[in-house]
Amino acid sequence: MVRATKLLAEVKSHYGDLKNYIGGTWRTPETTEWLEDTNPATGGVIARVPLSTNEDVDVAVQEALRAWDTWRETPPLDRARYFFALRDLMEQRFEDLSRVIVQDMGKTIDEARGEVRRAIENVEVAAGIPSLMMGYNLEDGAGQGIDEEVLYQPLGVFAGISPFNFPIMVQFWFWPYAVATGNCWIAKPSEQDPTAMQLVMDLVHQAGFPAGIVNLVHGAKETVNAILDHPHIAGVSFVGSSAVAKLIYAKAAASGKRVQAGGGAKNVLVVMPDAKLDKVVSNLVSSCYGCAGERCLAGSVVVGVGKVHADLRRKFSNAAQALKVGYGLDETVQMGPVISAVHRDRVLGFIDRGEQEGAQVALDGRSVRVSGYDGYFVGPTILDDVRLDMTVAREEIFGPVASVFAVHAFDDAIDLINSSPYGNAATIYTSGGKYARDFRYRVRAGNIGINVGVAARWPTSRSAGRRTRSSETSIRRAAMRSGSSRRARSSSPGGSDRLGRRTRF
């Protein structure tokens, strides 16, 4: 692996001591604890991250509560206009946002540009809130002479706790909808790569959002606990590992909060004998090794059905081996580092464990080095002859490691998928309509891909998962993202009203 001769320029070489954005101003947290934020490609420190305290979180909540009364009375069309302004500012700073993501998270520049584009698309959709937030009614809906009317109303202050792998996009799954519907927001980005959200808050400020509507609080575990325990936070959105998602769901729900918590995945890609293998392989490589495998929709298990397995393994291995690994600000690089030294060692440990348990290391990324860089690189890795009882087959690795299985028939592939405790996504590659339809119908996963390696939704559709991730199923967002409630009013001729709140699910 050779270091590129020319890189795109970094936005800054160092971002200094980060601050919280609260009540429309940048504030130094009341903490004595800080973390060093490193560039995953170089290993160099690019910022210091404050670990905000309970008091810091409370300041953010109080500022948001002060802003909420006025914000909830602001007409939806007026709220939408702030998003038009934000969208234009994000387009103007599109490249800067993308490069900061590369520098702090480690993905390639094209992957970062894709992430920023998805964030902007969510802003665009949220700007349509005057129609998206409309309620409905039904004459005589609750009985003769009793009409029913449903209104969507904001609830207050919501918080978003997001993971390192999409430092901008995951927050944008939630906060534009919460704010557009009249709520206030507190963002808690990952402490491992929070600098991109700093730039986002600069743009929020420039867009003219009133003070206290959108806030940012840095921190780690103590900060998260302060969010979960705060009595005036109405709901929490989280994406991360399954173990943490379960803890957050239980703790937030126990205090009466609305909560959505997305966990991990072990996504299966099934290749049928009738698949167009030369086209399939590039899609497999993108699914398994895009974002260095650090995404919940990444393919991690490749299943060859019947006679296709031998050719699949050979072509897949050759294509993965050809990937250029390096610093993502080199536009020729196809895969960047993983997020940290700790995570690199975790991924390497999974490869070692797989080999010890009997898997064949068909492509070994453990010894990959990138000349001129001391970052956290793991090369594309393929484990063959994997069995279902192996650790690498059962647990989420969250790195550039694919396990390859051979099964005899289509039904075996379905059984393999449905035996997993995970249920985020599954894909089939086939030329046959019957296989495609049966796969969609029988597989117990929330996101189904037909000849698509990353079965990701668009901002106009809902996210979905089964078992570990959530209870909703879709081929292509939980409604709670808006933070609205539904208010039902039934009016009788006598003038009495019946009011009740309903959960938006």
Please give the positions annotated as active site. Answer: 296
Helix (H) or strand (E) holding 26: strand 25-27
DSSP 335: B
- Amino acid residing at 346: R
41: which strand partners? none
Rounded to whole angstroms, the Cα distance separating 422 from 255 reads 27
45: which strand partners? 38
User: HSE of 422 in the Cβ direction (CA atoms, 13 Å)?
Assistant: 25
Please say whether the beta carbons of 446 and 474 come within 8 A: yes
Q: Which residue has 């126990």 as its token pair?
A: 254
Relative orientation angle of helices 221-229 and 242-254, to the nearest 10 degrees: 30
DSSP 9: P
Burial 244-276 (b: 16+ CB within 10 A, else e): bbebbbebbeeeebbbbbbbbbbbbbbbbbebe
Nearest CA to 191 among 213, 236, 224, 228? 224
Please say whether the beta carbons of 217 and 183 come within 8 A: no
Please say whether the beta carbons of 449 and 455 come within 8 A: yes
246: which strand partners? none
Please say whether the beta carbons of 459 and 118 come within 8 A: yes
Residue 50 backbone zone (phi > 0: left; psi -120 to 50: alpha; other: beta): beta
10 Å Cβ neighbour count for 396?
A: 20
Rounded to whole angstroms, the Cα distance separating 144 from 10 reads 67
Rounded to whole angstroms, the Cα distance separating 128 from 131 reads 6
- What is the helix, strand, coil percentage profile of the chain, to 5? 40, 20, 40
10 Å Cβ neighbour count for 373?
A: 20
Pairing of strands 267-271, 425-429: parallel
Give CA separation, 348 vs 112, 299, 359, 364, 422, in Å. Answer: 25, 18, 14, 10, 22
Nearest CA to 384 among 397, 401, 368? 401
Pairing of strands 157-161, 184-188: parallel
Rounded to whole angstroms, the Cα distance separating 220 from 36 reads 13
Please say whether the beta carbons of 23 and 62 come within 8 A: no
